[in-house]
Amino acid sequence: MTDLIHPTAIIHPKAVLGENVRIGPYSVVGEHVALGDNVTLHSHVVVDGHTTIGENTRVFPFASIGHAPQDLKYHGEPSRLSIGKNNTIREHVTMNPGTETGGMETRVGDNGLFMMACHIAHDCILGSNIIMANNATLGGHVHVGDFAFIGGRAAPYQFLWIGSHPPIGGMFRGAKKPNPPCRG
């Protein structure tokens, strides 16, 4: 198995690695990380926190997976990031774990494609077979159903629920709030 791990990779001795895991140059795997069978971390990937990545998932360079959420209410609690199997996580993607106010877990289903520079914020719950195009971002606590397609640079904001099978157009920002009633 050591021939599948580049000598410049840093892997915490307590990390759990499945069979045939490949870890490329300058990648870092933290103490509480579990990688399933046949996971590939290409070069310069960092996986930290209480993170699980399912079998046959591929993570490309400069992805930052499992680091502390970008939420001011987060105070270091051991929240989780669970990523399913057969996902493709492209360059510069970020995925954060949950927070106390959101159930302590962010979950990503199976068979997803997360293109360059996508962001999955804290406490998001994603179904399976989701495609997020380049630079699409999800605010905290967003739920996305199976087979959703989220277009490039779309940014659904916090607490939105997106059902199964929807196409979300590029540069989408969320549902427009209705105008306040006329008072005159």
Give me the active site residues, please.
122-123, 140
* Interacting residues of 37 by C-beta distance below 8 A, sequence separation 6+: 18, 19, 20, 21, 55, 56
Alpha-carbon distance of 8 to 26, in angstroms, equals: 5
Positive or negative, the CA dihedral 141, 97, 70, 9 is negative
By CB neighbour count within 10 A (0-12 exposed, 13-18 middle, 19+ buried), where does 97 fall?
Answer: buried
Token readout for 61 is 């360079």
